[in-house]
Amino acid sequence: MTKAWATFILALAGIYIIDQNIKTIFLSGWQWESSCISLTLVFNKGVAFSMFSFLGPYLKWIQIALLAGVLGYIIHGKYLQRYSLPLGMLFGAGISNIADRFMHGGVVDYVYWHCGFYFAVFNFADVMIDLSVGWLLVENLFFKKK
């Protein structure tokens, strides 16, 4: 196994384990409220902002197909060598959210921002997806390989 694959697998596993453990805390009933943030369990049947929830049980299979397609693309295009850490983070978070759909019927979300404006409920995996996509964008926009 190359260093890139090892980094990818370790990042994937690390994000998955952290996310699932945090979700276990909320699944056990823990919650917290403040004037700006509520930490409370919500099951999201769709994707961001509950979009595509009308797809019901098909959504998880569509997401698996998309992840498999992206994995094939990054392997074929040899992107894993350069982007193993952010891609591992992205896949770990994506797999964790898809696993929720199988285990709980929806993605386990728990962070709800309601200070000044109302935002969608989200979780650690969602933050890691945003972070890894941002990382990939910055790498490609500002640090292109010559």
Annotated catalytic residues are 109, 126
**Where are any strands of DSSP class E within 8-126?**
32-33, 37-44, 107-113
DSSP bridge pairs for 113: 37
Q: Give the amino acid at 108.
A: V
d(CA 59, CA 31) in angstroms, rounded, equals 28
